[in-house]
A and B are shown apart, each in its own frame.
Chain A
Amino acid sequence: MTAVTPDRIPAKTKHRRSIKDGGVKPIGRPIWLLSPGVLWLLLFGLAPLAFMLMMSFWTSTIFGTKPDFSFDNYARVLVTELYRDQLFKTLRIAFMTTAMTVVISYPVAYLLSRLHGMQKALFVLMMFLPFWTSYVIRAFVWLPILGRNGAINNALQALGIIDTPIDWLLFNEGAVFLGLVYVYTLFMTLPIYLSLEKIDPALVEAATDLGARPASVFRRVILPLSWPGVLSGCIMVFLLSISAFVTPQLLGGPSGIMYGNVIASQFLANNNWAFGSALSITLVAIVVLLLLVSSRWIGLQHVFTGGRNS
C-alpha cells in the first residue's frame, strides 16, 4: 500500500462529489473508455456492412465488379423464381425449426427450474456443455447416423428389417430440419430456463393457496412469466436458422439447400459479388425487420442475454 498523505485528500475529492444521484462518478472518462471498442466496431463492423450495401447496387461481370447504381440485382432476387422460392423455403424451415425447438425445450427447461442443489448444477452444466461444441461437429455427427453406413441403417440391417441400406434418410429437407433442431435447441432451452428460474415461487404458492389448479397455475402464472425467455429463444433460433449454411450444406443435398448456401455460392463459386451482396442485404433486411417487430416486446440486448427483462 502506498501511504496516503492527508494533504492529498481534499484536493482529490473536491470535484468528484458533484453527481445528481449523490454517488461518486465512476472512474475514467467515457470518451477514452469507449473509443477503442467503438472505433473497432465502426471500422470492422459497420463500415464493411455499409460497403456491402453499396456494392449491392453495383454490377458484376466476368471482368470483375464495377461501381454502378442499379437495382437490377434486387430485381433479380425478387423476380427470379429460384431465389424467391429458396427464400420462402428457408423461412419455412426456420419457422418449423423454431416451433419444434420451443416444443421440445420447454418441458426440459421447466424441469431444470424445479431442481435444487447439486442435481440442478449438474443438469444445467450438462445443458451448457454441448453449447460449447462446434456446430460444424454437431451437424457432422448426423452423417454417420443417417448415412448409408450410418447407425440407423446398420441397426435396421442387423435386426433384419431391411436388406439393403435406405438412402432417403440423408440429403433432403427432413435431414436439414433434424440437424437444425439438434444444433440450435440449446439456444431455446437456456433462455426459457433462465426466465422460469426468475419466477418467484411465492407467486406460484399464492396462486395455489387461492385454489388454482396445477394446470391453471401453469397457464396463468408460469407461462406468461416465461414469455420473455420463449421470445428470446425464438428470435435466436429463427435468426440462426434462416442464415444456416453448414447444416444444409452437409445434410441437405440438392433438395435441402437453403438461402445461406445460395448466398455463399455467389462468393465461393460464381464470383458474382454484386448479386451476392444484394442477396445478403435482403437477408440482413429480414433480420432487422424481425428484430424491429419483436422489439415491441423485448429489448434487443435481452435477446442475447436470455430474455431477462420482464
Chain B
Amino acid sequence: MVSITAGQENIAKRSARKPARSHRPYSGYRTALWIYAGAFYTFLYGPLLMIVLLSFNNSEIVGFPFQGFTTRWYDVVFASPALLKALGNSVGVGILAAAIATTLALSLAMGFRHQFRGKSIVLYLILVPIIIPGIIGGIVLLIFFGFSGVRSSLWTTVLVAHVNWVLPFAFLTLFPRLHGFDRALEEAAMDLGARPWEIFTRIVFPIIRPGVIATALFSFSLSFDEFIRTIFVSGFDRTIPVQFWGLIVDELAPELPAMAVLIIVISIFSSLVGFYFMWRASRSAATYARKAS
C-alpha cells in the first residue's frame, strides 16, 4: 500500500535554510555547464520568442519568410467578437474558479492542522483530480453531467472542471503556509479570550494573506490556461484556449501568433504578481519566525 506521511515535518524543515557556501574548484565543468544552460534556455525560449516575432509578420500564412512588420494581427484579435467573448469567458471563469478553489483549499488546509482519522484518505481524495489524466478529467464530467441532464456551459460544467483542476494545487500551495507559521500569536490570542472566528480574521488570515493571494493568482493562471478538460465540457461557450484550438485545427488562422502572445502575457502577468506575493509570504513568515525566537 501507499504510505503517506503527514508531510508536515518535511515541509516545515524546508524553511530552516542553511547559509549557502560556494563551490567553485572545477571551472572547466562550470564553463561546460554554462554553455549547456545557454542551449537549454534557448530551447526553452527560442520558440516562444519566434512566436512573438511572427505575431508582427505581415503575411497571411503563419510562418516564414518574414514579410515586414505589422500590428494588424493584433487589430484582428481585438476586433473579433468571438475572441473577445472567449476572453471574457476565460477571465470570468478564472476569477470564480480561483475564488472557489482557494476558499475550499483554505478551509481544507485549516482542517489539516488538526489530527483526525482518515487524514491520508482525505489527502488522496484531494489529489484525485491531478492524479487522473487531464483528458479523463474532462471526459468523466462529460458523461456524468450528460447523464444527469446538465447541459454543458461555462458556468456549470466548465466551472466545475476548472475548480476540480485547480483545487489540489491551491491546497498544496496553501498547506505549507499554514504549517510553516508560528502558532504563538494564535495561542496568545486564545489565552486572551479571543473567539476562534476572531483569531482567524485578526491573526491567522492577516499572516497568511500574501500566501492566499498568491494561491488565488496561481489558480487563476491555471484556470486561464486550462484546455484539455474544458474542450470536452465547454458546449457552445468557448474559453480562450478552446477558441485558440479551434483556430489552429480549422484553418491555421494568421492571427494565431498574436493571440498566443496575448494569452502568454495575461497568464505570465498573473503568475508574476502571484510570485511577488509568494515572495512576500515567505518573507513575512521569516519575519514572524525571527520575532518569535
Contact = CB atoms under 8 A, between A and B. Distances in A.
Contact of B3 (A55, A107, A277, A299): A299
B48 A133 contact: yes
B50 A145 contact: yes
Most B Cβ at <10 Å: residue of A4, A153, A301: A301
A91 to B, nearest CB: 13
Interface in A236-260: 239, 242-243, 245-246, 249-250, 260
A276 B140 contact: no
18 contacts: A24-B183, A26-B110, A26-B186, A27-B110, A34-B107, A37-B107, A37-B111, A38-B108, A48-B141, A52-B136, A108-B36, A134-B227, A143-B62, A149-B61, A202-B18, A243-B136, A264-B139, A302-B7
A299 B7 contact: yes
B111 A308 contact: no
A134 B267 contact: yes
Interface stretch (A39-47, A68-76, A77-85): A39-47
A41 B128 contact: yes
B4 A299 contact: yes
A45 B141 CA distance: 9
A95 interface: no
A150 B129 CA distance: 37
A142 interface: yes
A301 B172 contact: yes
Contacts of B65: 154, 158
Is the contact region of chain A dominated by helix, strand, or loop, or is it mixed? helix
Contacts of A51: 140, 143-144, 147
Contacts of B124: 300
Interface of B: 1-5, 7, 10-11, 14, 18, 20-23, 25-26, 29, 33-34, 36-37, 40-41, 43-45, 47-48, 50-51, 54, 61-65, 103-105, 107-108, 110-111, 113-114, 116, 122-136, 139-144, 147, 160, 163-164, 167-168, 171-172, 183, 186-187, 190-196, 198-200, 204, 221, 225, 227-228, 232, 241, 244-245, 248-249, 252, 256-257, 260, 263-264, 267-268, 271-272, 275
B228 A246 contact: yes
Contact of B64 (A132, A144, A185, A246): A144
Nearest to B108: A37
A242 B29 contact: no
A25 interface: yes
A38 B122 contact: yes
Most A Cβ at <10 Å: residue of B125, B249, B256: B125
Contact of B190 (A24, A30, A158, A250): A24
Sorted from nearest, which 7 A-B pairs have the closest CB atoms?
A149-B63, A243-B133, A33-B111, A48-B144, A154-B64, A295-B2, A48-B140
A304 B186 CA distance: 30
B263 A304 contact: no
Contacts of A239: 131, 133
A180 interface: no
Most A Cβ at <10 Å: residue of B3, B4, B64, B192: B64
Given A280-B135, A301-B127, 17 more contacts: A9-B193, A16-B190, A24-B186, A27-B199, A28-B110, A28-B114, A46-B125, A51-B140, A134-B225, A134-B263, A145-B47, A149-B62, A150-B64, A151-B64, A246-B228, A287-B131, A309-B10
A292 interface: yes
A231 to B, nearest CB: 14
Contacts of A242: 133
A205 B21 contact: yes
A153 B61 CA distance: 14
Interface string A167-198: 00000000000000010011000000000001
A141 B48 contact: yes
Interface string A283-310: 1100110011001000111101100110
A36 B62 CA distance: 47
A132 B225 contact: yes
B47 to A, nearest CB: 4
A220 interface: no
Contacts of B186: 24, 26-27
Contact of A44 (B25, B47, B160, B171): B160
A220 B200 CA distance: 47
Query: Size range of the interface on A?
Result: 35 or more
A116 B40 contact: no
Nearest to B130: A304
Given A44-B141, A136-B241, A151-B50, A245 B135 contact: yes
B264 A133 contact: yes
Given A46-B125, A305-B172, A267 B139 contact: yes
Nearest to A12: B193
Contacts of A185: 44
Most B Cβ at <10 Å: residue of A5, A38, A137: A137
Contacts of B41: 126
Contacts of B113: 26
B97 to A, nearest CB: 12
Contacts of B5: 299, 309
Contacts of A13: 190-191, 193
B3 A137 contact: no
B48 A130 contact: yes
A73 B184 CA distance: 59
A203 B171 CA distance: 33
Contact of B132 (A5, A107, A263, A287): A287
